Amino acid sequence: MDYLLAAVDRTAPSKPMHLVGHSVGGVIAAAFAHRFPERTASFVDVEGNFTLQDAFWSAQMAAKTTAEVEQIMRANRADPERWLRNGDIEPTDERIRAATQALAYQPATTIQAMARAVVGYTANTSYEQLLREVFERTPVHLVAGARSRGGWDVPAWALTAAASYTELPGTGHMVMLEAPEAFGKLLAELFTTSPADPAAS
């Protein structure tokens, strides 16, 4: 959290920020919003992990050795088209370029450390209470891909407490990769409804 706070401080010192957390990033964003509510204008949760059921990929990576994770990542980097197809994403040239760039910034040690932290966090019995407190004091917008929504383990209380809920049609878990323009437009709309300056609300 201190590393993320330092990055936020470099971008907008002492100002509240809109957080966007996707998948395992949803856990990180939620933890930040809980620890630093004064720095959080809103939280857009894009199929973020609510439970261990959501964190199944992290559980798989956490159980592997660093060498095994590196082998998986090396194979993904060597064939980003296959990686996209495995994620039920049509591999257009633009998406292959985006996947190649994203995979290049995912070293095995970082993935393993993140996976173990996410598993430990979501398995903790206090995690649900942490999330409830974030929802109570911060506008939380839930976003899902229409194809992958059925696999997102969102509790009923979160759907009720959320500031908004949106499904992007024709997309799966990687909504920002499959529909970048629609996703960007949605974020702009959500940020407008949750001003970064609390005094403006």
**pTM, 2 dp:** 0.91
DSSP string covering 8-71: HHHHSTT--EEEEEETHHHHHHHHHHHH-GGGEEEEEEES---STTTTHHHHHHHTS-HHHHHH
- Asked whether residue 88 is domain-assigned, the answer is no
User: Residue 185 burial by CB count (10 A; 0-12/13-18/19+): exposed, middle or buried?
Assistant: exposed
What 3 state SS string does 79-124 have?
CHHHHHHHCCCCCCHHHHHHHHHHHHCCCHHHHHHHHHHHHHHHHC
- Asked whether residue 93 is domain-assigned, the answer is no
- Asked whether residue 164 is domain-assigned, the answer is yes
Q: Which CATH number does the domain housing residue 42 bear?
A: 3.40.50.1820
- Asked whether residue 158 is domain-assigned, the answer is yes
Question: Cα–Cα distance between 164 and 31 in angstroms, integer?
Answer: 20
- Asked whether residue 181 is domain-assigned, the answer is yes
**Total domains, the chain:** 1
- Asked whether residue 171 is domain-assigned, the answer is yes
- Tens of pLDDT along the chain (201 residues) come to 788 888 888 888 888 999 999 999 999 999 999 999 999 999 999 999 999 899 999 999 999 999 999 999 999 999 999 999 999 999 999 999 999 999 998 899 999 999 999 999 999 999 999 999 999 999 999 999 999 999 999 999 999 999 999 999 999 999 999 999 999 999 999 999 877 655 444
- Asked whether residue 169 is domain-assigned, the answer is yes
The parent domain of residue 130 ranges over 2-10+17-59+109-194
Edge-to-edge strand ranges of the sheet holding 40-46? 17-22, 40-46, 140-145, 164-168
- Asked whether residue 175 is domain-assigned, the answer is yes
